[in-house]
Chain A
Amino acid sequence: MNNEAESIRRCVAGAVQKLAGEPGPLLEILHAVQDELGCVPAEAIPQIATALNLSRAEVHGVVSFYHHFREHAPGRYVVQLCRAEACQSMNARALEEFVRGKLRLNFGETTPDGRVTLEPVYCLGNCACAPAMMVNGELHGRVTPERFGEIAKEWGVAP
């Protein structure tokens, strides 16, 4: 526990030292922290606030405003399913139902073994190859339930 607190402290200190001199640096710092820790833990917020001379509420307000920032580390595989119109026109709703059934997850949830987190996303710019999905930054196009099953097998999800 102490170790964890110390690694958060060190990570935030590093990000602050590197970026606090930039104009309007808060988002940059939050990105740096999340890139390293997988999330922006609640313990990081007072330290960031102090460094930037902001209130904790202001920092928390920014973290909670943006869909990308999270307070808890996600599963090993972050699956972002596109819900926007172009994907809907190519059966994304049916795919969504299939994926949620297959993973037994609602949006925002992580499998109990910490393997997969399911998130909604509203457009990945892959609208010419819908429906689209992104997994840990890797984009997939024309995703069918069958194709999803194949990809999920690679994460160790039973077919």
Chain B
Amino acid sequence: MSSSVTIYVPGDASACSLGADRVAHAIEAEAGRRGRAVQLVRNGSRGLYWLEPLVEVVTAAGRVAYGPVTPGDVSKLLDAGLLEGGAHPLRLGDIATHPYLASQQRLTGARLGVVDPTSLVDYVANGGYVGLHNALAMQPLDIVRAITDSGLRGRGGAAFPTGIKWQTVHDQKAAQKFITCNADEGDSGTFSDRMLMEGDPFSVIEGMTIAGLAVGATQGYIYLRIEYPHAARSLAKALQVARAVGYVGQDILGSGKRFDIAVRLGAGAYICGEETSMLESLEGRRGEVRVRPPLPAIKGLFGQPTVVNNVVTLASVPVVLARGAQFYKDFGAGKSRGTIPLQLAGNVKHAGLVERAFGLTVKELVYDYGGGSATGRPVRAVQIGGPLGAYLPVSQFDTPLEYEALSAKNALLGHGGVVVFDDRVDMARMARYALEFCAVESCGKCTPCRIGSARGVELVDRIIATRAGANGANGAHDSNLALLDELCDTMFNGSLCGLGGLTPYPVRSALKHFPEDFLPGARAPHSNAAEAAASVRMR
């Protein structure tokens, strides 16, 4: 009776982890049984993960969303007129007007969940490749200046000004320069790189291409972690499409300029998110950290000047080139300019992606967006910035989520992940875990990290044992705490890179803000046996 109806069902990894693939199949099968033609689009996620799988139907009145949809809901949804946007308890209406989304400032993630990720037509229709067109008409130095003026800082965690990095690479004389995209997003609680690569891969490709034009590089590499197979497929497809049309390759849009991109897979090593370790890995070696200087911008991949930027940083570049440095800079606060895709995760009711100008407070994020804990219990702590980030207690939730404000609290924003814990969290165990993780993932090159982390685990084990009253005396307990503090000092000051150097952040913040969890007689909710057994063979 009618023509084909377009239906969006996310192909995003997290949505699929909740059954999106099965929902997509069920819709096709059920529609087929009813003789209705549907065209499925596997979009990225909009980032409202408690509503995934989020199905959207294109109607005459616009897109109508339903969620969270299970395969078992599909038949009843079709009965209720899903294909016409009919009424149903799961009907959410136009998802773009949902307060969680409507209050955001999506610049980098503007197309997430909106477009077909590997459709170049969709990308261009939604503002894509305007930045590259502008860049092709500019002198390389002017591109670099635009990035500098925008105030964009590295979103991978180090927050180094991107323009200065590009300028350094631009100024080097070399036969070959490289753009590398660090897509080894290993921090727990972070998934913005993944969402962008899966849901809007062209933005990363465009950002790298602009970077290549700016610094005079002709080859790019995306170093992608092996844990992200969905992103690998999305990037491969998008690259194929972009190459076929001439957005990457030997002659970019007939400009005579050359830039190509290859995806290289990591092999399960957190340390390879550290830039020099990533370069070692790209060269086919053990991912051991390099001593700096020389900086990668001067002597990087294969000894050549190399830009190393995070996925979010590169995906933000087209925004700056398309809409101007001032436009981007007008977002944000202090020295943190632009927007940051915050990732709200863990024990929180409304987990998801929240892209806002810098300056949102932890409280606003956790309660206004997050709606408090998923378990309904009181929130006790958040960890910001991944496994090397500090824990903040509720009393500090007024802290704005920007680089300097967090730094003043001995915390760091890192890659923008915020993990929520309820009141059952045992902070002594979280401190132990931080050290255990460091021991598992240490590259082994420097002693404070390799040995310090192992000794740290033993120390916290002794503290936990004393706490439980197993081997009593307070004197031993105090000296263990003093020793742990000293060990943190050594790791902080003596490690070659951020892994050993920043592991003291979670440990010390746990000690400082939650001392009661370390004291003799503290509640010891769990048995130690499971953990000890797990440690026997961690890898």
Q: Is A121 part of the contact surface with B, judged by Cβ < 8 Å?
A: yes
Contact segment of B79-87, B114-122, B262-270, B489-497: B262-270
Most B C-beta atoms less than 10 A away, residue of A26, A96, A122: A122
- B267 touching A27, Cβ below 8 Å: yes
CA A129 to CA B193, docked complex, whole Å: 16
Q: B284-296 CB contact bits vs A (8 Å, 1 = yes)?
A: 1111100000000
- Given A106-B533, A107-B538, the answer on whether A122 and B270 have CB atoms closer than 8 Å is yes
Q: List 25 A-B contacts (CB under 8 A).
A: A25-B284, A27-B265, A27-B281, A65-B287, A66-B267, A66-B287, A67-B268, A67-B539, A69-B267, A84-B189, A86-B417, A88-B430, A93-B526, A106-B536, A120-B534, A122-B387, A122-B437, A126-B14, A126-B17, A127-B188, A128-B49, A128-B351, A129-B14, A129-B18, A129-B52
Residues of chain A contacted by B194 (CB below 8 angstroms)? 125
Number of interface residues of A (CB under 8 A): 52
Which residues does A use to contact B, with CB under 8 Å? 23-28, 30-31, 58, 61-62, 65-69, 83-90, 93, 96-97, 100, 106-109, 119-130, 132, 134, 137-142
CA A45 to CA B110, docked complex, whole Å: 47
Q: Is B433 part of the contact surface with A, judged by Cβ < 8 Å?
A: yes
Which secondary structure dominates where chain B touches chain A? mixed
What residue of chain B has the Cβ atom nearest to residue A62's Cβ? Answer: B286
Number of interface residues of B (CB under 8 A): 68
- A30 touching B343, Cβ below 8 Å: no
CA A26 to CA B287, docked complex, whole Å: 12
Q: Is B517 part of the contact surface with A, judged by Cβ < 8 Å?
A: no
CA A24 to CA B13, docked complex, whole Å: 30
CA A33 to CA B281, docked complex, whole Å: 17
- A122 touching B440, Cβ below 8 Å: yes
From 40 to 97 in chain B, residues with beta carbon under 8 angstroms from any chain A beta carbon are 49, 52
- B346 touching A130, Cβ below 8 Å: yes
A88 to chain B: closest CB distance in Å? Answer: 7
User: Which residue of B387, B421, B538 is within 8 Å of A120 (Cβ)?
Assistant: B538
CA A138 to CA B230, docked complex, whole Å: 9
Residues of chain A contacted by B500 (CB below 8 angstroms)? none
Residues of chain A contacted by B317 (CB below 8 angstroms)? none
- B287 touching A86, Cβ below 8 Å: no
- A96 touching B534, Cβ below 8 Å: yes
Residues of chain B contacted by A69 (CB below 8 angstroms)? 267
- Given A96-B530, A126-B14, A127-B345, the answer on whether A108 and B267 have CB atoms closer than 8 Å is no
- B351 touching A129, Cβ below 8 Å: yes
User: Which residue of B14, B267, B284, B421 is within 8 Å of A24 (Cβ)?
Assistant: B284
- A107 touching B537, Cβ below 8 Å: yes
What residue of chain B has the Cβ atom nearest to residue A139's Cβ? Answer: B17
Known: A65-B287, A90-B374. 18 other contacts (CB 8 A): A31-B265, A66-B266, A67-B269, A68-B269, A89-B347, A93-B526, A96-B534, A106-B534, A107-B539, A108-B537, A120-B534, A124-B227, A126-B13, A126-B14, A126-B17, A127-B417, A128-B344, A138-B16
5 residue pairs, one from A and one from B, having the closest CB atoms: A26-B284, A84-B188, A141-B17, A66-B267, A127-B345
CA A84 to CA B343, docked complex, whole Å: 15
User: Which residue of A23, A28, A109, A134 is within 8 Å of B537 (Cβ)?
Assistant: A109
What residue of chain B has the Cβ atom nearest to residue A130's Cβ? Answer: B346
B195 to chain A: closest CB distance in Å? Answer: 9
- B345 touching A130, Cβ below 8 Å: yes
- A84 touching B387, Cβ below 8 Å: yes
B198 to chain A: closest CB distance in Å? Answer: 10
- Given A85-B387, A123-B188, the answer on whether A128 and B345 have CB atoms closer than 8 Å is yes
- A26 touching B191, Cβ below 8 Å: no
What residue of chain A has the Cβ atom nearest to residue B353's Cβ? Answer: A128
- B302 touching A24, Cβ below 8 Å: yes
Q: Is B283 part of the contact surface with A, judged by Cβ < 8 Å?
A: yes
- A127 touching B285, Cβ below 8 Å: no
- B264 touching A87, Cβ below 8 Å: no
CA A140 to CA B538, docked complex, whole Å: 21
Residues of chain B contacted by A107 (CB below 8 angstroms)? 534, 537-539
Most B C-beta atoms less than 10 A away, residue of A65, A108, A123, A128: A128
